[in-house]
Amino acid sequence: MARSLLLLGSNLGNRELNLQSSINNIQQQETCKIISISSVYETEPWGIPSNNNYLNQAAVIETSLNPFNLLTLLQEIEMESGRTRSVKWEDRIIDIDILLYNSFVLDSLGLKIPHPELPNRRFALLPACEIAPEWEHPLYHQSIKSLLEVCCDETKVWLKS
């Protein structure tokens, strides 16, 4: 079984329900087991202007799927939830990213692991640090906690109350 760190995000519709439904869908898969889930964080939009804040949540899973099959599964869950893809960083019902997969490094056209923007995104590092602070980034050889401490992203991220 491999261990993977995922980030879920939603800024359309019932954001909390979108996150919970996606977590439930992942948990229902025979090929995935959720090990831990972070608190929910509210985040200012990142990438393009939007009037809708995001809710973000990290999850650590164990999976028997290879990275490509895991990506396919997560994209199927997104599509079943109503996710469309037309503009990069557009508002979305749900987004599920693979941040890390064991200590695996992959740079292919459709999938990059570790997620290339992880060290630059406070909204990903903060929930990830809550549940996996010592997980080492395989390229930077720094823990998630260390990456968060030096992250220059000034996007506001706060614990959802």
Q: In whole angstroms, what is the distance from residue 126 CA to residue 58 CA? A: 9
pLDDT at 84 over 70: no
Q: What is the mean pLDDT of the segment spanning 111-135?
A: 98
CA angle 119, 4, 74 (to 5 degrees): 100
User: Greater confidence, 48 or 4?
Assistant: 4
User: For residue 33, what pLDDT is reported?
Assistant: 97
The number of distinct structural domains making up the chain is: 1
pLDDT at residue 90 greater than cutoff 80:
no
What is the span of the domain harbouring residue 123? 2-159
pTM: 0.95
Euclidean distance between CA atoms 34 and 10, whole angstroms: 19
Please tell me the predicted confidence (pLDDT) of residue 81.
84
- 59 and 6 in contact (C-beta within 8 Å)? yes
Whether the predicted pLDDT of 87 surpasses 80: no
If one counts every other C-beta atom within 10 angstroms of the C-beta of residue 24, the result is 11
> What single letter denotes the amino acid at residue 153?
D
Q: What is the CATH number of the domain that holds 146?
A: 3.30.70.560
Contact by Cβ (8 Å): 112, 21 = no
Binned at pLDDT 50, 70 and 90, residue 79 comes out as: confident
Q: Which residues are catalytic?
A: 83, 92, 95, 97
Mean pLDDT value of segment 81-103: 82
Q: Is the pLDDT of residue 91 over 90?
A: no
* Cα dihedral across residues 80, 81, 86, 88: positive or negative: negative
Per-residue confidence band for 92, with pLDDT thresholds at 50, 70 and 90: confident
Mean pLDDT of 137-145: 98
Alpha helices per DSSP H over 14-159: 15-27, 67-80, 122-131, 144-150
Distance (Å) of CA 41 to CA 9, 73, 127: 9, 24, 7
